[in-house]
Structure 1
Amino acid sequence: MKNIKQITKQLALLLAFCMVVFACNDKLEENDGQLAADDLDYTASDDMVLPLIGAYSAVYSRGWEDPILIGVRGDDVNAGGLGDQQPLADTDLFIYDNNYWMYNQIWENFYGDIVRILSSRETIQLYQNFATEDEYLDRADQYMAECKVLSGFTHFQMSRMWGDIFIIGSTDIALELENGVKTKGEVMQYISDLMDEAMPFLPDQRPNERQDVFGGVTKYTALAIKALANLELENYQGVADATGAIIGSNKFSLYPDFYELFKKPGELSDESIFELQFSDYNTEDGDANNHLFAPFGPSNWTPVVESAAAGWGFYEPSLKYIKFMIDRGDQTRLITSVNFTPRGMDELMTDPEYASLPNYISNTTPDGDIFNDYPRAMFASGKHYLPSNQLTEGRTEYGSSKNLIVIRYAEILLMHAEALTQGASSSAMTADAAVNMVRSRVGMPTLSGVTNDQVMDEKFAELAMEWGVRYFDMIRLDKYDELSYDGRTFTADKEFLPYPQAQLDLLPLE
């Protein structure tokens, strides 16, 4: 093993940041601060929420690079023409450079989060050790279970990208690393089992029903992550059981307006199962806790609110996806998912089959923002776009205060249908009913006798640009031909990213 003491020291430094404390507010985020462990009074049981908020902060404070790298290899998304980030464009073409800073940064982002979450969980345990009232004993059990869900989410994202990874289950980092990397299958089973451990202690509520930590994870978030892990294991009955439990709860419903679902009106709707929350506190200036959405935005636009800043153009819906949606007549989801430029529309029309575009396609969004030509991309992701007229007055940052949806009920319905078309059984809902519920929201005609191929098409239409769902579906099903598009050639050896060279130099990965 390579220099275990060096990496243990490096990861131990992350522990210094795990006790980040935030004042609890509508969006869970306020001023970033630290509290040394020696300053904690573990008999002050009401304070045990503080390390929990620190765990949420770890997950919410995603780098801009995280969702972009996770999703960029799918056939729904292209990297923009990135002169200063060429290795990201190469990654989109399945050409991997393990010296690329982004690979290492994301590795450190997620493992840093895991360490902070675990330290929060262990701190909550210390509070519980000093608690005497049942209320606080139960509260500590719930908070520690929430940390398990957050840890499961981070491990899940890591393993989907790199396959075999370290499972970090405690802050005894040396011991965890000595256990070596686990296979992707082992990691997914660990996540599934961890969700089973957490569920008995979690609120039986939607996230938006919680009053203690509004929008926090619940039993249904754990079920969703369990379903996702079992999908990667191709344990389709496990997927059907977990998604069936969510459906059978009758707690969730699809937000009626697909376009506004990804804007401020749709934040923490009854469709939301896991959502990263951000806020500028509805103030013109001062503190804000925002995700950086600029990489998703256009570098040249004419917004309704003239002061609204532009973006970087790093992430664009693919021509393949756009043509797929036009062919389906899938108008609502297309104009929600894709923001067009004149150059993009011209490029579409160079294909004789699309020489005449539907009249609903325009470079003006339904809210009146105009996307002009810019060099890096021909299209922008509408799901990562906040209309300028929804910005808080005085705020100019692209997407300021916009939340980032991670898991929503529509994905649960489609995973349920997928599991049933792969041979699983369920009394919660038929595959036809699940698919048609998603389709009816956007005015698409109903289907009967749905096949697995039709379900995968529906996932493509519904979940494009969201957390790499399309890419990971295609590699799980060995549909390499779908990923070999527009000059790309995908092969099985390209499924996972290479370990970052900086980690190979430190970690016992060989």
Structure 2
Amino acid sequence: MKKYKILFLFLTGVFAINSCSTDDLELSDPNQITPETYFANEAQVQAAVNAAYANLQTSSLYGRMMWFINDNMSQEAMEAGGMEPNKAVFLYFTFNSTTNWISEYWDSCYRGINKANFVIGNAPIIDAIPTSKLSNATKLKFYAEARFLRAQYYWLLVNKFGDIPLRNGDFTERGGKPKSPKADVIKLIIEDLEYGSKHLLSKASEKDVGRATKGAAQAFLGKVLLYEKRYGDALTSFNKMSGYDLEPNFLDNFLEETENGIESVWEVQYDLTLGTANKWGGNVQGQGQNHATFRSQDYGCIDWSGSAPSDDLVNSFEPGDKRLNYTCYFAGDTYNNGTSTFDAGNFFVGRGWRKYQNYYKQPNEVQESGINAKVIRYADVLLMMAECENQRPGGSQPTAVALINRVRARAGATTGGLFPLLSTTLTKAQVFEAIVQERKVELAGEQVRFDDLIRWDRAATFLAGTGFQAGKNELFPIPTAEISSNPNVTSADQNPGW
């Protein structure tokens, strides 16, 4: 598949915005850009929307730390010799409110929110652009993209921090905002995704691959509603999706040449041809050329070797489940277009990550990778649909099992085989356990397991002995930097246990 990527660059001066203040939007120098003078045509509005995408690419989010934070806390990963201490703190739950990566995660999300709000909050100015320069339908699409992106950033924040400051695009209130209840944040996320479900395009055109679509909004809305235990509403949203299916080849989801395929619902785009000059200066800003992820080197088994699939994860795969070898490399596996073979000496712990790695086409990983980060793919949706069907009042267990079996069949499951398709006679409790197992192995190393454990109230049991403390580590601490700089957030607002 030929790749097209969105160039997520914009004018630095407009978006030098932090999480605590909107003062940077109050520009008085007549030589500087203001919303009133900037928003004059389609290209300018498009550029502002593009800027809101860019923070997802930063190294404090999907460019690097999203992997370490979630894979380590879920214990899907383990140290492999090269894991630096500032990543290992998430494996052992020894981070605190001054941990740099937590502060930068917070900061990058809020910068993304402020960029989205720059579009949403200036809707009256954009609406005034003549339709000869920007059609009303395109305006609605731009607003929908901005609201979808705002929902993404708030979702990343609310699942890690709980109650957080809420900014909704109203620029009349200056200064830092106090924490809002998690329920209010979820309410805004749902409203934004409902708007996106209505106004986003059904499918991105070839030149717009990578932009938010109606299906992505419907999937994300379903996910949020599932987390809220609104199973029927979630299933309704999932059922509105169309045009998606499973890739026949599981690994096509994680190769650079076949990304954005039929299973892709929402993924963060990377493309080395667009430039990586700002890779070390783009932790939070989302400005400049930063179109690479560092997962290749960090997770590479014969290079930096910072991470490896954990014993628990590897032992979770059933005999005959092909996904074990789709997820991991072992001694004897070939790589580099089949011209090289791994031996035991290539691994610190007897295996390495295969998902998202470039070894399939080259002898070594380099520092940068252009492989996209999958946020939601259709296999995840099918398993969430199965969970909704199983948990909703009057749900059908056979229907839930059929959804799970679609995912298992691709992994090699057959009726009565060593790796079997599930029986349609399973009870509700048995179906739920099957979903827990299936999500663990299907989505291994895809940053969903920890949130699953939290929402299922299983973290304390599964993570016992790792350093996880119930009543504390369900949430990150509010960064000390936020408490120091925001007069409306004090130490009394800190999350429990911190």
TM (norm. structure 1) is 0.77
Tell me how far 1:255 sits from its aligned partner.
Answer: 0.8
1:339 aligns with 2:329: yes
For 1:414 and 1:120, the matched residues in 2 are separated by 34
Tell me how far 1:107 sits from its aligned partner.
Answer: 1.0
Partner residue of 1:329 out of 310, 319, 322? 319
Q: Judging changes above 3 Å, is the alpha-carbon distance between structure 1 residues 419 and 122 closer, same or farther for their aligned structure 2 residues?
A: same
For 2:381 and 2:190, the matched residues in 1 are separated by 16
The corresponding residue for 1:447 is 422
- Is residue 259–residue 336 contact of structure 1 (8 Å, CA) maintained in 2? yes
Tell me how far 1:156 sits from its aligned partner.
Answer: 0.4
Q: Judging changes above 3 Å, is the alpha-carbon distance between structure 1 residues 284 and 414 closer, same or farther for their aligned structure 2 residues?
A: closer
- Mapping for residues 459-474 of structure 1, pairs under 5 Å: 459-467=439-447, 469-474=448-453
The corresponding residue for 1:17 is none
For 1:288 and 1:150, the matched residues in 2 are separated by 18
Greater CA drift, 282-291 or 222-231: 282-291
Q: Judging changes above 3 Å, is the alpha-carbon distance between structure 1 residues 315 and 46 closer, same or farther for their aligned structure 2 residues?
A: same
- Mapping for residues 152-163 of structure 1, pairs under 5 Å: 152-163=151-162
Q: Deviations over 1:290-341 (max 9, x none)?
A: 122245323x62xxxxxxxx3x33333210010111xx1254211121234x
Greater CA drift, 28-37 or 223-232: 28-37
1:186 aligns with 2:165: no
Tell me how far 1:97 sits from its aligned partner.
Answer: 2.0
Q: Judging changes above 3 Å, is the alpha-carbon distance between structure 1 residues 465 and 69 closer, same or farther for their aligned structure 2 residues?
A: same
The corresponding residue for 2:58 is 61
- Mapping for residues 475-486 of structure 1, pairs under 5 Å: 475-480=454-459, 482-484=461-463
Matched to 2:309, the amino acid is P
- Mapping for residues 132-147 of structure 1, pairs under 5 Å: 132-133=131-132, 136-147=135-146
The corresponding residue for 1:271 is 263
Tell me how far 1:376 sits from its aligned partner.
Answer: 7.2
Give % identity.
19
Q: Judging changes above 3 Å, is the alpha-carbon distance between structure 1 residues 171 and 454 closer, same or farther for their aligned structure 2 residues?
A: same
Tell me the SS of whatever aligns to 1:407: strand
Matched to 1:293, the amino acid is R
For 1:75 and 1:234, the matched residues in 2 are separated by 25
For 1:472 and 1:339, the matched residues in 2 are separated by 26
Tell me how far 1:137 sits from its aligned partner.
Answer: 1.5
Tell me how far 1:439 sits from its aligned partner.
Answer: 0.9
Tell me how far 1:408 sits from its aligned partner.
Answer: 0.6
The corresponding residue for 2:4 is 26
Matched to 2:342, the amino acid is I
The corresponding residue for 2:399 is 430
- Is residue 8–residue 50 contact of structure 2 (8 Å, CA) maintained in 1? no
For 2:103 and 2:137, the matched residues in 1 are separated by 39
For 1:419 and 1:229, the matched residues in 2 are separated by 12
Greater CA drift, 39-48 or 402-411: 39-48
- Is residue 54–residue 120 contact of structure 1 (8 Å, CA) maintained in 2? no
The corresponding residue for 2:193 is 195
Matched to 2:68, the amino acid is I
Matched to 2:328, the amino acid is V
- Mapping for residues 7-406 of structure 1, pairs under 5 Å: 26-29=4-7, 33-34=11-12, 37-38=33-34, 42-63=39-60, 64-80=64-80, 84-85=84-85, 87-122=86-121, 126-133=125-132, 136-170=135-169, 172=171, 174=173, 177-178=176-177, 180-205=178-203, 209-211=204-206, 213-246=208-241, 249=242, 251-281=243-273, 289-294=291-296, 296-298=298-300, 301=302, 310=303, 312-325=304-317, 328-340=318-330, 362=333, 367=338, 368=340, 370=342, 373=345, 379-387=351-359, 389=361, 397-398=366-367, 400-406=369-375
Q: Deviations over 1:258-301 (max 9, x none)?
A: 12321123300011111111112399999772122245323x62
For 1:281 and 1:318, the matched residues in 2 are separated by 33
Tell me the SS of whatever aligns to 2:265: strand
For 1:32 and 1:73, the matched residues in 2 are separated by 34
Tell me the SS of whatever aligns to 2:413: coil
Q: Judging changes above 3 Å, is the alpha-carbon distance between structure 1 residues 242 and 369 closer, same or farther for their aligned structure 2 residues?
A: farther
Tell me the SS of whatever aligns to 1:98: coil
- Is residue 271–residue 291 contact of structure 2 (8 Å, CA) maintained in 1? yes
Q: Aligned Cα RMSD in Å?
A: 3.4
For 1:479 and 1:153, the matched residues in 2 are separated by 25
Tell me how far 1:135 sits from its aligned partner.
Answer: 6.0
Tell me the SS of whatever aligns to 1:505: helix
For 2:225 and 2:170, the matched residues in 1 are separated by 26
Greater CA drift, 312-321 or 30-39: 30-39
TM (norm. structure 2) is 0.79
Question: Structure 1 regions of 5+ residues with no counterpart?
Answer: 1-24, 302-309, 343-360
Greater CA drift, 93-102 or 374-383: 374-383
Q: Deviations over 1:189-238 (max 9, x none)?
A: 32112211232211122xxx424522211111111221221222222222
For 2:357 and 2:172, the matched residues in 1 are separated by 39
Tell me how far 1:452 sits from its aligned partner.
Answer: 0.7
For 1:377 and 1:174, the matched residues in 2 are separated by 54
For 2:233 and 2:454, the matched residues in 1 are separated by 20
- Is residue 200–residue 214 contact of structure 2 (8 Å, CA) maintained in 1? yes
Matched to 1:235, the amino acid is R
Tell me the SS of whatever aligns to 1:492: coil
Tell me how far 1:362 sits from its aligned partner.
Answer: 4.7
Residue correspondences, number: 442
Tell me how far 1:501 sits from its aligned partner.
Answer: 1.8
Tell me the SS of whatever aligns to 2:384: helix
Matched to 2:77, the amino acid is V
For 2:351 and 2:387, the matched residues in 1 are separated by 30
Tell me how far 1:366 sits from its aligned partner.
Answer: 8.0
Q: Deviations over 1:160-188 (max 9, x none)?
A: 1111112221163845844x212333322
Q: Judging changes above 3 Å, is the alpha-carbon distance between structure 1 residues 79 and 149 closer, same or farther for their aligned structure 2 residues?
A: farther
Question: Structure 2 regions of 5+ residues with no counterpart?
Answer: 14-31, 279-288, 415-420, 494-498
Tell me how far 1:363 sits from its aligned partner.
Answer: 8.2
For 1:192 and 1:412, the matched residues in 2 are separated by 17
For 1:75 and 1:289, the matched residues in 2 are separated by 28
For 2:55 and 2:33, the matched residues in 1 are separated by 17
Tell me the SS of whatever aligns to 2:114: helix
- Is residue 336–residue 361 contact of structure 2 (8 Å, CA) maintained in 1? no
Matched to 1:456, the amino acid is V
